[in-house]
Structure 1
Amino acid sequence: MESMQDKIVNFYLNYQVPLLTLSLIGLYAYIWWAYENFKSILQIVKALLSPYFLPNENKSLSEKYGKWAVITGSTDGIGKQYAIGLAKQGLNVVLISRTESKLKEVANEIESMYSVKTKYIAADFGSGKEIYEEIKQKLQMLDIGILVNNVGRMYDFPDDLDNVPEDLLWQIININVGAVTMMSRMVIPQMKVNRRGIIVNISSGSECQPTPLMTVYASTKAYVRNFSLALNKELEEHNVQVQLVTPLFVQTKMNNFSTYVMKGNILMPDVESYTKFAVFTLGKSSQTTGYWSHGLQYGAMRLCPEFIRTIISLSMNRGFREEYYAQQKILNNNNNSDIVAKISN
């Protein structure tokens, strides 16, 4: 006859041990899920606290990486604010963008504010392969420690793939994929020799899921994500870092199709506020949303399965498209009224 002690042991082995194992597996999965989806917030907290616990790591960016920083897409928005933020920390900056007049204006603005050197290179990244040799020649004598791959091209407004002009699609691919790849490849050899340097790649929250009506743009940002995380591991042994920055909605001209986004709120910061946080994380984390409220949004988004996020993206972009059409209708009506008024006069 089975004793009470044997019954207890058998019950524990038959039920409690499997339940405990499942609980441990669930705890393990939850911890890693929480880390993956909220690590941007954790890394911002780490960056804030590191000067108190790791004072030896609290060096200036020029001490850590070198005297020169290169920023692409640097005449507007996030790129311009990165250039200003890095100059504020004492780095000389090379501005690369398409329009020479804007480059001169930003260079003069930076030099009037800070005691740093500036250089600029006018280059249209949308034109493809031929621009890179000239850029390489102009950069080869500089001690480049930081590269910010910010230049990007988005749809003019969310739309179906077959409605997007072919030339625009090539621009998006050449700029969003080509520039981040070839500019990184250009600076890596010197960084390896110097055993220091950091490449900052600006991605987008659209990397997180398939994004209908911004299909090509979102796909290029998924490339930027995988490229950055893989390259960071590839360069680790050379003491060269790659930081992936994943902003969500920021008030920049890239989002001009939506008056709602451009009005801004705590979840959609102005470009100065966003970039101030993003520059602060430079060298302190390998992957970040760049802004505290974006970190919370990113984690909340990832609570949903991918197919739900895709449906939400489609619905949101349909709303943005309708908003854009409404804006254009108002503008067209205003223009027609102006023409009628001129004819009447």
Structure 2
Amino acid sequence: MATASDGPQGGAAAPGGPARRRGRNGPGLVITMAAVDHFSLLYREISRSCSFYMEALALVGAWYTVRKCVSLACGTYSMLRLHVIPKLGGEVDLVRQYGQWAVVTDSTDGIGKAYAQELAKRGVNIILVSRNKEKLEAVSRSISETYNVETEFIVADFSKGREPYPAIKEALKDREIGILVNNVGMFAGYADYYTDLSEDMLWDTIHTSIASANMMTHIVLPGMVKKKKGAIVNISSVFCSQPTPLVTTYGASKIYLDYFSRAIHYEYASKGIFVQSLTPSTIATNMVPFNSWLNKRSFLSPSAEEYASHAISTLGLSTRTSGFWKHELLFALAERLPEWMWARLALYLGGIVREQALHPK
């Protein structure tokens, strides 16, 4: 019988017995191979050699599973804390927490009007800011009579660049503003390619969606800092989750608002100021008048009043939220989709909406 020391090749193993080889530099890893005629025996021998690696992989799998379970638990708790618990408990006294007056821009329709009504329902006096005097008068009178609060209004066209702000600043100088809601924004009316947008539309988007939030915040923030309390709510959009073609300027302006809100909060949280970025999805308003499906209330599209009721209950609890639990799930999904998938979906759906706008029949 040949042994491992017989011959230059180390010899051959005896039938049915193991063959062992030591490393050139002395004792080391011993590899054991069995001359077997059954796969199960071979698998057992290989498993013994790889047991360390199997244990390591098991540890990695366990760590991943625990991490995902903790993440799921935290997400569930966050949803309950934001969208369920506030509805079960009593309403927060917004006047005591932030101040007597709230300023709401673009407040004659949609989310702005509904948010103003919800604030008034909680005893906050309202200052409405929009460009249509007749609508302002009607909404102001309605809120005052319905909720028994003081209301005022300021006529301002935010698309005029720097023009409206001196008058707004003068009108607000003697008011103790506790809450500012930056809701004004510009949407082209339908999804469209960037080169098809007019220069006026581009400037209007910059002035209304970006400049207005900056200037209104700059006007009211010093007073909030002085009294060491206040809240600023900026209405962003689910489109800030990913780059969205065919609504490029609108989505980019919402990304700006989201970034602006989060950064300002870090700057002034220590001074008692709470800044919130709201990122809603579709809400049943007249934002897209030619498409009845987008304007219709549905399971995923609440009315403006329903949305405002949920969103205002998150004030002071989360600096970045969709404001409505169903939209929270949609936003989480949107953030996790691959960018190419989101972009292709936006191009497809935006193309349909564009065709509906250009060819209604």
State TM-score, norm by structure 2: 0.81
Q: Which of 130, 135, 143 matches 2:168?
A: 135
Partner of 1:189: 222
Alpha-carbon RMSD: 2.8
After superposition, give the CA deviation of every residue in 1:149-207 in whole Å (9 maximum; x if it has no partner). 01111012111111111101110111111111111122111111111110001011111
Partner of 1:43: 82
The CA deviation at 1:106 is 0.7
Partner of 1:268: 301
Unaligned 5+ runs, structure 1 = 3-7, 331-345
| More helix, by proportion | 1
The CA deviation at 1:15 is 4.2
- Measured in 2, the distance between the counterparts of 1:221 and 1:38 equals 27
Partner of 2:7: none
- Contact 2:115–2:305, Cα closer than 8 Å, also in 1: no
Partner of 1:291: 324
Aligned 1:222-237 pairs, distance under 5 A: 222-237=255-270
Q: Does 1:17 align with 2:56?
A: yes
Greater shift, 237-246 or 34-43, is seen at 34-43
- Measured in 1, the distance between the counterparts of 2:52 and 2:330 equals 43
- Contact 1:257–1:320, Cα closer than 8 Å, also in 2: no
The CA deviation at 1:28 is 3.7
- Contact 2:106–2:112, Cα closer than 8 Å, also in 1: yes
Structure 1 residue identity aligned to 2:84 = V
Aligned 1:207-222 pairs, distance under 5 A: 207-222=240-255
- Measured in 2, the distance between the counterparts of 1:167 and 1:34 equals 48
Partner of 2:145: 112
The CA deviation at 1:42 is 5.3
After superposition, give the CA deviation of every residue in 1:16-62 in whole Å (9 maximum; x if it has no partner). 2354246525754785599679956652235346x4xxx8xx64100
Q: Does 1:126 align with 2:159?
A: yes
Structure 1 residue identity aligned to 2:59 = L
- Contact 1:71–1:95, Cα closer than 8 Å, also in 2: yes
The CA deviation at 1:87 is 0.7
- Contact 1:177–1:224, Cα closer than 8 Å, also in 2: yes
User: Structure 1 vs Structure 2: percent identity of aligned residues?
Assistant: 35
Partner of 1:154: 187
Partner of 1:338: none
The CA deviation at 1:305 is 1.2
- Contact 2:82–2:313, Cα closer than 8 Å, also in 1: no
- Measured in 1, the distance between the counterparts of 2:69 and 2:240 equals 23
- Contact 2:242–2:335, Cα closer than 8 Å, also in 1: no
Shift in CA distance, 27/215, structure 1 to aligned 2, threshold 3 Å: farther
Structure 2 residue identity aligned to 1:146 = I
Partner of 1:90: 123
- Measured in 2, the distance between the counterparts of 1:158 and 1:25 equals 41
- Highest RCO, 1 vs 2 (Cα 8 Å, sep ≥ 6): 1
- Measured in 1, the distance between the counterparts of 2:79 and 2:177 equals 27
Query: Secondary structure of 1:302's match?
Result: helix
- Measured in 2, the distance between the counterparts of 1:280 and 1:75 equals 21
Q: Does 1:311 align with 2:361?
A: no
Structure 1 residue identity aligned to 2:276 = Q
Partner of 1:336: none
Query: Secondary structure of 1:243's match?
Result: strand
- Measured in 1, the distance between the counterparts of 2:243 and 2:75 equals 19
- How many residues align structurally? 320
Query: Secondary structure of 2:359's match?
Result: helix
- Measured in 2, the distance between the counterparts of 1:300 and 1:178 equals 30
- Contact 1:41–1:292, Cα closer than 8 Å, also in 2: no
Q: Does 1:251 align with 2:299?
A: no
Query: Secondary structure of 1:170's match?
Result: helix
After superposition, give the CA deviation of every residue in 1:300-321 in whole Å (9 maximum; x if it has no partner). 3334212211111111100111
The CA deviation at 1:146 is 0.3
Shift in CA distance, 231/141, structure 1 to aligned 2, threshold 3 Å: same
Q: Which of 107, 110, 117 matches 1:77?
A: 110
- Measured in 1, the distance between the counterparts of 2:347 and 2:62 equals 37
Shift in CA distance, 151/134, structure 1 to aligned 2, threshold 3 Å: same
The CA deviation at 1:325 is 2.4
The CA deviation at 1:283 is 2.2
